[in-house]
């Protein structure tokens, strides 16, 4: 693997959630990603009880069903999931039904958009996962209303053992000025560990990282940009600890 972008959060598998609607759109998303400089994608359909009933098996089967389409487009595709927080999360992970990123040591953890569970409860869940050797990656906290109103919540989750992934479109302003401002504030405070596309389609939310990467280079320099778009995502993909993080 070279110096291309690694996208650890992408709803690219056809027909599994509110992402790519069919194989044709998946293949077009792969072409867009490769053109943008993305060399590896973690396919992360939603898993949310009663809404998106995916499992590791359905996700791996969907990747296999692409019949080499990812490789033909020059993108390596790996299994994962955008897992909605639930009280049964740790048990479900232990039973093997929930996919870890590339079957390694990280999982994407999605929080409710508006009202969070008690922080003590989330912290206990994060600690339990860490005791099992798994690091949760909090997805798009910059778009979470509770965290937008009190950024210290994110610091507490990180101190409990989580890492943080923000969305490329948040950096470029696609989710509004408040979210963009929060993204920069989180980066300035050292609370962001990876940037991902969270792509869902080819037009409104495509798999594009280069625009956000350019913004981060402009505001924070090329070293941080390399960490957030290449090195840390690659470490997450490979299941190894992130460099320079205390407690990890």
pLDDT in tens, 156-196: 999 999 999 999 999 999 999 999 999 999 999 999 999 99
CA dihedral 94, 96, 99, 101 (to 10 degrees): 60
**pLDDT tens sequence for the chain (248 residues):** 668 999 999 999 999 999 999 999 999 999 999 999 999 999 999 999 888 999 999 999 999 999 777 777 899 999 999 999 999 999 999 998 899 999 999 999 999 988 899 999 999 999 999 999 999 999 999 999 999 999 999 999 999 999 999 999 999 999 999 999 999 999 999 999 999 999 999 999 999 999 999 999 999 999 999 999 999 999 999 999 997 553 33
How many other β-carbons are positioned within 10 Å of the β-carbon of residue 212? Answer: 26
HEC profile of 186-203: HHHCCCCCEEECCECCCC
101 alpha-carbon distance from chain centroid: 9
Identify the residue whose tokens are 């798994």: 134
Is there a contact between 78 and 237 (Cβ–Cβ < 8 Å)? yes
Contact of 56 with 98, CB cutoff 8 Å: yes
pTM passes above 0.75 = yes
Query: H or E segment at 180?
Result: helix 177-188
Predicted local confidence at residue 1, as pLDDT: 62
Residue found by looking up tokens 């919540």 in the block: 153
- How far apart CA 244 and CA 224 sit, in angstroms, is 12
**Fold of the 5-238 domain:** TIM Barrel (3.20.20)
Give the tokens for residue 22. Answer: 């069919």
């Amino acid at each position: 693997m070279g110096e291309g972008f690694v996208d650890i959060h992408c709803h690219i598998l056809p027909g599994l959630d509110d992402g790519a609607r069919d194989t044709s759109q998946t293949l077009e998303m792969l072409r867009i990603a490769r053109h943008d400089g993305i060399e590896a994608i973690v396919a992360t359909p939603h898993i949310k009880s009663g809404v998106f009933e995916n499992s590791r098996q359905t996700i791996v089967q969907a990747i296999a069903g692409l019949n080499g389409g990812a490789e033909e487009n020059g993108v390596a595709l790996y299994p994962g999931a955008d897992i909605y927080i639930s009280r049964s999360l740790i048990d479900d992970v232990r039973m093997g039904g929930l996919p870890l990123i590339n079957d390694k040591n990280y999982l994407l953890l999605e929080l409710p958009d508006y009202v969070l569970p008690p922080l003590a409860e989330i912290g206990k869940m994060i600690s339990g996962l860490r005791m099992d050797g798994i690091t949760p990656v909090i997805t798009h906290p910059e778009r979470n209303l509770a965290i937008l109103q009190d950024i210290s919540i994110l610091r507490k989750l990180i101190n409990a053992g989580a890492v943080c992934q923000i969305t490329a479109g948040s950096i470029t302003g696609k989710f509004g000025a408040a979210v963009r401002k929060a993204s920069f504030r989180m980066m300035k405070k050292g609370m962001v560990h990876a940037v991902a596309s969270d792509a869902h389609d080819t037009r409104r939310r495509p798999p594009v990282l280069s625009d956000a990467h350019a913004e981060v280079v402009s505001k924070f320099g090329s070293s941080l940009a390399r960490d957030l778009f290449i090195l840390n995502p690659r470490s997450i993909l490979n299941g190894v600890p992130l460099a320079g993080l205390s407690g990890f």
